[in-house]
Amino acid sequence: MLSKLLDPESVAVVGASPKQGSVGYVILENLVTRFGKKVFPINPKYDEVELWGRVIKFYRSISEVPDPVDVVVIATPAPTVPKVLEEAGIKGVKAAVIVSSGFSEAGNTELENWVKAVAKQYGVRVLGPNCIGVYNAYSGFDTVFLPAERAGRPPPGPLALISQSGAVAAAIMDWAARRRLGLGFLVNYGNKADITETELLEGFAADDRVKVITIYIEGFKYPGEARQFLETAKKIAAKKPVVAYKAGRGGAAQRAVKSHTAAMAGSYEMYHGLFQQAGVIEASSVREMFDMAKALAMQPTPRGRRTLVLTDSGGMGIQAVDALEALGLEVPEIPESVAKELKRELLPFAAVANPVDVTGSTTDEHYKIVLDALLPTPLFDMALVVTLMQVPGLTKNLADYLIDAKKYGKPIVVVNFGGSELVQRFEEVLEGNGIPVYPTPDRAAKALWALYKYGEIRKRL
Amino acid sequence: MTHPIVSRALSESRGKLREDEALTLLRAYGIPVPDFALVKNEEEAVKVAEAIGFPVVAKVVSPQIVHKTDVGGVIVGINDAQGVREACRRLREVVKRVPYAELEGVLIQKMVPKGVELIVGAVYDEIFGHVVAFGLGGIYTELYKDISMRVVPVDVEDVWEMVREVKAYRLLTGFRGMPPRDIPAVVDIVYKFSRLIEDNPEISEADLNPVIALEEGKGAYVVDARFILRINY
């Protein structure tokens, strides 16, 4: 069922509108211009309207639609929703996205209960109400009522996001689009009258295009939910990394959570414990969640925690060591015999300890020499490579050497910082070839930690 | 399966277990508690203390007295029969001073040597169900919010993680010349306690406070325990 919701073949939009600026207009535009499959606009006020250079036929009701409908998107005023849902049920539609607000979040619990009852009676699964719904970058199925010029749409890719907040989801979508981050799926479940984050987790677990699942959560809502999440997440995390960011940790933040989501929240320590038990990797911000998710999607897990730091800047190397050690990762020294051998091939003033500092006078080849000499050995499980491209000896060929080092099967992350076109191009090539790039050593270290942590989770589950 | 001690308390509409019941329940789950007995008079107290072996502790048992230490209801370091008699008399005085308090008896308990004091707890949350908690005893747990929690049931690996997770873990591994503590014994207590909570879902809140961790190989003991029940479960 969830696969129909996330990846439908045909969609009806109740409340579709030719009036620019309305919710019904944006959703219709999304689907007509970017969704390659069947779209049926429903609005009794219109018959045929020319929009986006084509003639759009409106239907008076769902029952008039000649073809089967996989998903109905409902964007009509709240009081009309139960009736519309019933029509969808009679038509045999299996899933509904209720975009409309004015339900339990506004104190209108009775109306929401009515929606639940109708959904149950007709066997329609409901996402929402009060949600932005689904964005599927692969098919262009897109119920997000924010115009694409305001909230960019990310390209297809290995990440999926399950978000309790619609606004946070939209902001992440825009941010991911600008960075060309492959966020293939995004779902916001709003009031969670029916479909829960746990079921969405299962839905993404079953989709091979999704490599890493990210979750933005403020709090569970229903009794006993935490236990269901635990049991499901545990099974999924053994096969696919799940990264979560729980917002609302302190006292004041928890009050905010309650008023925002009407969720009855356990304490933050309970969520933390739950994530640990479930093998869910916990992030402490949205940015960190995607820093980690990117690495998990691109890189293998390391066998242990011993990290090689390779840098052309002494200062960046020191920062990297600080960050790695604070996270419980190791930065072991290079045995003297190995260092002596390596020193002969590098610049005389290069420091061959760990970090290995090839210095600002380095060339691309020096990076290659160090990686080829150390990464295949049992001395190291992974590498953090700082490439400040501002030094004269480095060129875009360095990217090829780094990509080539993937053959050793050990995680590699890169720290690269700057604004020149060379820097940007360099980053694009690396990320296009599965090597994640971060602007600061602490963020790269956290990404390596996530890979290490996931390796440990895999061993345990 | 609910333990008879819990069922009996519920059938008598008691929302709380007595001290001796709490310790017996722990013992039934293999959780180490120092030898103890609930006595009704001085003579019995002396006999029990001699059987257990000195030093012992005497604690007032009264349903109306929740914070025993605050009213002078715990007398430690009793080394002989004379001390036991004196303690019994003092505890009777304590009960007289607390309005409406009735003396149900005196708990004589073998005194546990000094060690690192820990707290193990459980709470029922509507969303999470039963959750177990672990932290260092005393004021620091509250001050630094240095506490770890897990959802019941836990496995042994979960417990190791929750014990290692608290900052106070270093006190258990040996810190500033202090000896390392019996960490496997602590883990065993938390694990068995989680089983106890799982079997007895009528428990809405419980603390084992303090749990005293002795030196490596010497075990850990629950010295005091409090169980609150949901009467209308």
Domain boundary among A180, A210, A240: A210
The H or E element spanning position A141 is strand A141-142
Asked whether residue A225 is assigned to any structural domain, the reply reads: no
Asked whether residue A259 is assigned to any structural domain, the reply reads: no
Residues in B closer than 8 angstroms to A264, CB to CB, are 126-127
Domain boundary among A176, A194, A210: A210
Same domain flag for A184 and A304: no
* CA A377 to chain centroid: 34
Cα–Cα dist B161/B5, whole Å = 31
> Would you call A273 and B149 a contact, using CB atoms and an 8 Å cutoff?
yes
Q: Which amino acid is at B40?
A: K
Cα–Cα dist B155/B188, whole Å = 11
The alpha-carbon gap from A252 to the nearest alpha carbon of chain B, in Å, equals 16
The DSSP letter of residue B123 is E
Look at phi and psi of residue A278 and say left if phi exceeds 0, alpha if psi is from -120 to 50, else beta. Answer: alpha
Q: Pick the closest to residue A432 from A185, A180, A210 (CA basis).
A: A180
Give yes or no for a contact between A37 and A52, defined as CB atoms under 8 angstroms apart: no
Residue A175, token pair as written in the block: 């941010």
Q: Would you list the DSSP string of A251-302?
A: HHHHHHHHHHH------HHHHHHHHHHHTPEEESSHHHHHHHHHHHHHSPPP
The alpha-carbon gap from A226 to the nearest alpha carbon of chain B, in Å, equals 5
Q: How many domains does chain A have?
A: 2
Cα–Cα dist A167/B157, whole Å = 38
Asked whether residue A315 is assigned to any structural domain, the reply reads: yes
ipTM for the predicted complex comes to 0.91
> Would you call A226 and B128 a contact, using CB atoms and an 8 Å cutoff?
yes
Cα–Cα dist A89/A242, whole Å = 34
Instruction: Report all structural domains of chain B as residue ranges with CATH numbers, in order of start.
Output: 35-110 (3.30.1490.20), 116-229 (3.30.470.20)
Asked whether residue A21 is assigned to any structural domain, the reply reads: yes
Residue B233, token pair as written in the block: 């479960």
pLDDT in tens, chain A (461 residues): 699 999 999 999 999 999 998 999 999 999 999 998 999 999 999 999 999 999 999 999 999 999 999 999 999 999 999 999 999 999 999 999 999 999 999 999 999 999 999 999 999 999 999 999 999 999 999 999 999 998 999 999 999 999 999 999 999 999 999 989 999 999 999 999 999 999 999 999 999 999 999 999 999 999 989 999 999 999 999 999 999 999 987 666 655 555 555 444 578 999 999 999 999 999 999 999 999 999 999 999 999 999 999 999 999 999 999 999 999 999 999 999 999 999 999 999 999 999 999 999 999 999 999 999 999 999 999 999 999 999 999 999 999 999 999 999 999 999 998 888 999 999 999 999 999 999 999 999 999 999 999 999 999 98
The alpha-carbon gap from B67 to the nearest alpha carbon of chain A, in Å, equals 26
Residue A203's domain comprises 2-210
Same domain flag for A23 and A161: yes
Give yes or no for a contact between B223 and B109, defined as CB atoms under 8 angstroms apart: yes
Domain boundary among A179, A210, A241: A210
Asked whether residue A295 is assigned to any structural domain, the reply reads: no
Asked whether residue A417 is assigned to any structural domain, the reply reads: yes
Cα–Cα dist B82/A363, whole Å = 86
Looking up residue A402, the CATH number of its domain turns out to be 3.40.50.261
The owner of tokens 């329940």 is B25
Residues in A closer than 8 angstroms to B127, CB to CB, are 219-226, 264-266, 270
Residues in A closer than 8 angstroms to B161, CB to CB, are 276
pLDDT in tens, chain B (233 residues): 899 999 999 999 999 999 999 999 999 999 999 999 999 999 999 999 999 999 999 999 998 887 888 888 999 999 999 999 999 999 999 888 888 888 899 999 999 999 999 999 999 999 999 999 999 886 666 677 788 999 999 999 999 999 999 988 999 999 888 999 999 999 999 999 999 999 999 999 999 999 999 999 999 999 999 999 998 75
Asked whether residue A252 is assigned to any structural domain, the reply reads: no
pTM: 0.93
Q: Which member of A221, A224, A273 has the closest CB to residue B162?
A: A273
The alpha-carbon gap from A328 to the nearest alpha carbon of chain B, in Å, equals 13
